[in-house]
Every structure is written in C-alpha cells, then in structure tokens.
Amino acid sequence: QVQLVQSGAEVKKPGASVKVSCKVSGYILTELSMHWVRQAPGKGLEWMGGFDLEDGETIYAQKFQGRVTMTEDTSTDTAYMELSSLRSEDTAVYYCAVSQGYCSGGTCYDWFDPWGQGTLVTVSS
Amino acid sequence: EIVMTQSPATLSVSPGERATLSCRASQSISSNLAWYQQKPGQAPRLLLFGATTRATGIPARFSGSGSGTEFTLTISSLQSEDFAVYYCQQYSNWPPPYTFGQGTKLEIK
C-alpha cells in the first residue's frame, strides 16, 4: 500500500520560504493525486491544494494563491510543497495526503487516505 | 466556500456506550462527505467517505448517515482507542476549496 514519509521540522523567520517534501513508497507518484493540508497548533484542518489527475493541473486554495507551489519529482517519487512570504500565522503542521477520490466530467471529488506523518513548520523571529 | 459546522465541540461518553457526532454543511453537499479520526500527535485517519462507506480496515462499530446538509457519525459501543478528535470534510464543490469542520473531541466520561 501507499506510504508517505515527510521531511523533518523546520524553523523559519518571517518573510522566508519553506519547502516540505513527501516521499512516496509502495506506489508510483504519477498515478496518485497528492494534496496538502495544514493544521495550526490546537486548530482544525485546512486544505491548501492538490493535483488534479484528470487534467494534470495543480489547484490551490485561493487563500494561498501566489504564495504556495506544489511540485513533484517523478524520478524519486517525491512531492514538494513550498510556501513563501512566511508569517507567524503559517506556523502549523503540514501534511501531504493522497486522494482516494475520482474525477468525472471535469469535476473531482477528493477524500484523503493515507496521510504523511506531518511536518511542523514554525515561523518565528 | 462551504462552511462545515460540527457539534458538539466536546462529547463525554463512557466506554461501551454509543457516541453520536453531528456535522452540518452550509449548503447541500449531497453525500460528498468524509469523516476522519485524529489522535494526539498523529495524522488524521480516514474513517468514512460518501457519507456512509467505511474505509478499508475500519471496524463496523463506525457508521455514517445523512445527505444534503445534515450528517451523523455514530460509534456504537465505544472502545478506549476511539477517544480522539473527529473531523468531517466536504468534497462537493468544484473547484475547491475542500473544507473541514472544526472537530469534535470525544473524551472519556
């Protein structure tokens, strides 16, 4: 089955960027729809964006447009999420997660399983 | 954006009893709803999708119901390992954002 292993915790200063990796094993990354979800300390879950397998494009939540970039290295089956212009409110655990949903007629339906173990990103001066 | 509201925020139930958790959508999402369980320090785990279908390996004591805007997760005969935070997630609107409820903490009474 699919297993996801994420990179380690990061501490960044405001205004900096962070790049989190998510290594896939047990499956080929190109056959997966990878998404990213974050969770601020003591808070709920927030979807950031993900890959639409049907048309081959990445969709980002409007809130993060212009600040987030999700990429994939298919040679190593590793997905990446880079977030720039960091601020204190970006302090959170960032998860990669595989969509188990489907796309039909140009519409996708995504629910997530499994998830990576999470990467804590702390933004502090 | 579709807003998901879960109730109650905290639910205290004794082991062996039944727990009922609610999730409401701000507009109809048909049956495009998933439930997750999250324990401290762990990633969420998928329990149900399509409002009622259990994910692989999920025990039969977990069941879901509802459609449209009102949904329920029921855990019959609570086990010690079931005490956790539960989130609902809608995946109805396209393009996203997909949105989650704020969570219900299920604690031991």
Chain B residue numbers with beta carbons less than 8 Å from the beta carbon of A110 are 91, 96, 98
The answer to whether the CB of A21 falls within 8 A of the CB of A6 is: yes
pLDDT along chain A (125 residues), means of 10: 97 98 96 97 97 88 97 97 98 98 89 98 98
Higher-confidence position of B84 and A53: B84
Per-residue pLDDT tens over the stretch B23-47? 999 999 999 999 999 999 999 999 9
Q: Which residues of B touch A112 (CB under 8 A)?
A: 34, 36, 44, 46, 89
Q: What percent of chain B has pLDDT over 90?
A: 96
Asked whether A10 and A121 are in contact (CB, 8 A), the reply is yes
* Residue among B93, B98, B102 with most chain A CBs within 10 A, to mutate: B98
In B, which residues are within 8 Å of A113 by CB distance? 45-46, 55
Q: Which residue's structure tokens are 């447009």? A: A65
**Inter-chain CB proximity A44 and B102 less than 8 Å:** yes
Q: Let me know: does B84 contact B38? Beta carbons within 8 Å.
A: yes
Q: Please classify residue B30 by burial: count the beta carbons closer than 10 Å to its beta carbon, then call 0-12 exposed, 13-18 middle and 19+ buried.
A: middle
Confidence of residue B81 (pLDDT cuts 50, 70, 90): very high
